[in-house]
Amino acid sequence: MANGFSLGSFSRPGRSVTAPPRAGWRSPHPPRYPSWGVSAQSEDRVPVSKRHRPPVVAVTGAASGVGRAFLSKVASSADFRRVVAIDAQRGDVTDVTWRVLDIRDPLLANRISDVDVLVHLAGDFSLDGDPAERRAYNLRAAQTVLTASAAARVRRVVLVTSAMVYGADADNPVPLPEDAPVAAESDTGVVGDHLEIESLVRRSLRAHPGLEVVVLRPAALVGPEVDTVVTRHFEAPRLLVVKGCLPRWQFCHVDDLVSALELAALGHVNGVVAVGSEGWLEMEQVEEISGVRRFELPAGLTFSTAQRLHRLGITPAPATDLHYVVYPWVVDCATLRAAGWKPAWTNDAALRELMTYREGKHAVVGRRLSGKDATLTAAGATVAVIGTAAIVRAARRKKKI
C-alpha cells in the first residue's frame, strides 16, 4: 500500500515509504495533489455571509466512546449553530438532532445536506475481533463519509487516526515533528487500518479537490473506554523493554483529544495535527508512577516469540504492534500549540488515570487473561512478559475442545 504523496520519502533497511504533505505546504507551481488543509476551491464556493456564521456540525459514532465525549462537549456550545448526532442507535445526549443510520449507508449524503462540518468518530478498533471484518468496516465507513461529504458539499471533514502511523523505532527523534514521514508498517493490526484510512483521505482529496480534510493523530489514548495495545501493556505484571533502547512515553487523554477536535471543527487548525500531552516520561518515571517494574529482553527474542504467539492465535495483535510499547513515538504538537491550545492533562496524570483502569485486568502481550491464567502467568517474570507455557497450553486445550 502506498503510504503517502510524492512530496518526500523516507527509507529504512528493507522498506521504503512516502511522507504525507506538510500542513500549509506551498509551492510556486500548482501541487500535483491537493494539500490536507483548507483548499482555495472550498473557500471560494462558500458565500461570504455563510463563512462567519456558526457552523452546523455532525458527529458520527455519537452514541459512545470518543464520539459521545465530543458530542457532550459541543451539544450546548454557542460556537456551533446546531449539532447533529449520527449513529446506528440513538444515544443519551440531549439538545442535539439525532439521525439514526448505519454510517456505511450510501444514503448518508442525504442526511448531511444541511451540515457544514462532519467529525467522523465512528470506527471499530477492538483488538479481539476479526481483523478482516474490522478493517472492512473502518474503510467502508471512512470511504462513505468522505464520498457523502463531497456529494453533500460539506465544507470540512475531521477524522482521527493515530500518531502510530509515524512508526515506533529506536532511531526516532524525540519528539517527532508533525511533518515526519509516515513510516509505520502496514499489517493486519489497528495501525494498518489507520494507514489505509489516511490513504483513503489522500485519494478522496484528489477526487474531490474542493473538500477540506483535517486528520488528527493522537498519541497513546487514555480514557474510560479506551482499550489498545498500549493500555493492555500496563495490565501486564511487568513492563517489557528491549535491550539497548528504553521507550519514552507520551499519552493523550480523551478530554484533550475532544478539545483538539473542537478546534479542528471550527477551522482553527488544518492539515495533519498531532495531539498529546506536553513532553514525555522516561522509563524510570513510568516505573515510579505505575508501581510496575520493567523486564528486559533481547529484541530478537521478543519479536520472534511474539510473532509465533500471534501465528498460533494466542495473541490478538501482530508482533509489529509491540514496537509501540518498546520504542519511542513521541510527537510534537506544534500546530495546536500555535493555535493557542494547551493540553489539560500531563503525561503523569494520564498515566495515573490509566493505572486506575488496570484493576482486575490482566494481559500479556496484548492478550487478556482469565483469573486462573493470570495466576499461572504471574508465577514467572520472564514468561509473564512475552507469553507463557501456561497460555500456550490453555490455548491448545481450547482448540481441542
Residue 158 domain-assigned?
Answer: yes
Q: Are 330 and 274 in contact (CB under 8 A)?
A: no
Residue 163 domain-assigned?
Answer: yes
Query: Which range among 137-146, 274-283, 321-330 shows the weakest confidence by mean pLDDT?
Result: 321-330
What pLDDT does residue 225 have? 87
Q: Are 5 and 17 in contact (CB under 8 A)?
A: no
- What is the H or E stretch that residue 303 is in? helix 299-311
What pLDDT does residue 357 have? 87
Residue 377 domain-assigned?
Answer: no
Q: How many CB atoms lie within 10 A of CB 209?
A: 14
What pLDDT does residue 315 have? 59
Give dist(CA 196, CA 165) in Å, integer: 10
Residue 213 domain-assigned?
Answer: yes
Q: Taking 90 as the threshold, does the pLDDT of residue 319 lie above it?
A: no
Residue 60 domain-assigned?
Answer: yes
pLDDT band per the 50, 70, 90 thresholds, residue 317: low
User: pTM to 2 decimals?
Assistant: 0.79
* Mean pLDDT score of the chain: 81
Query: Which range among 14-28, 180-194, 256-270, 289-303 shows the weakest confidence by mean pLDDT?
Result: 14-28
Residue 281 domain-assigned?
Answer: yes
Burial 328-363 (b: 16+ CB within 10 A, else e): bbbbbbebbeebebebebebbbbbebbbebbeeebb
* Better pLDDT: 177 or 53: 177
* CATH number of the structural domain spanning residue 345: 3.40.50.720
CA distances from 164 to 4, 186, 215, 227, 238 (A): 15, 11, 13, 15, 23
Give dist(CA 80, CA 78) in Å, integer: 5
What pLDDT does residue 126 have? 87
- Please work out, in degrees rounded to the nearest 5, the angle formed at the alpha carbon of residue 198 by the alpha carbons of 194 and 202: 170
pLDDT band per the 50, 70, 90 thresholds, residue 22: very low
What pLDDT does residue 70 have? 98
pLDDT in tens, 164-214: 999 999 999 999 999 999 999 888 889 999 999 999 999 999 999 999 999
Q: Taking 50 as the threshold, does the pLDDT of residue 388 lie above it?
A: no
Closest CA to 233 of 61, 95, 364: 364
What pLDDT does residue 400 have? 59
- Rounded percentage of the chain residues whose pLDDT exceeds 70: 72
Q: Taking 60 as the threshold, does the pLDDT of residue 374 lie above it?
A: no
**Domain residues for 124?**
56-369
- The count of domains in the chain is 1
What pLDDT does residue 358 have? 78
Residue 212 domain-assigned?
Answer: yes
What pLDDT does residue 127 have? 84
